Amino acid sequence: MDRYETFATWIFIVFGALIITGLMAFAIATGDKAAFLFALASACAAFFLGFAVIFDQPRLYGLILFVSIALIAGSITAIVT
């Protein structure tokens, strides 16, 4: 595995699975449907970050990362309000 594939694998595992799954679990536990859907959409976007790294698309990576962070912010905002 080369350097990009290793980095993409860590993106899948750390960002997509651990952090966003914690948001999803908290939203399920509190019964907040909007927060769960924002976190689910963010997880889907984060999943595609790895493909942007593998195919060496830095602009696409930045765009998907921005969308994912915006969805995480939406999820946190939905939980807080």
Instruction: Find where tokens 């593998």 sit.
Output: 54
Report field, pTM of the whole predicted structure over 0.75 = yes
User: What local confidence, expressed as pLDDT, does residue 47 receive?
Assistant: 81
User: What local confidence, expressed as pLDDT, does residue 58 receive?
Assistant: 87
How many structural domains is the chain composed of?
A: 1
User: What local confidence, expressed as pLDDT, does residue 73 receive?
Assistant: 94
User: What are the φ/ψ torsions at residue 31 (nearest 5 degrees)?
Assistant: 75, 25
Mean pLDDT by 10 residues, the chain (81 residues): 75 75 91 93 84 86 91 93 87
User: What local confidence, expressed as pLDDT, does residue 1 receive?
Assistant: 59
Q: What does the alpha-carbon distance between residue 9 and residue 17 come to, in Å, rounded to a whole number?
A: 11
| CB-based contact 4:50 (threshold 8 Å) | no
Helix (H/G/I), strand (E/B), else coil: 31: coil
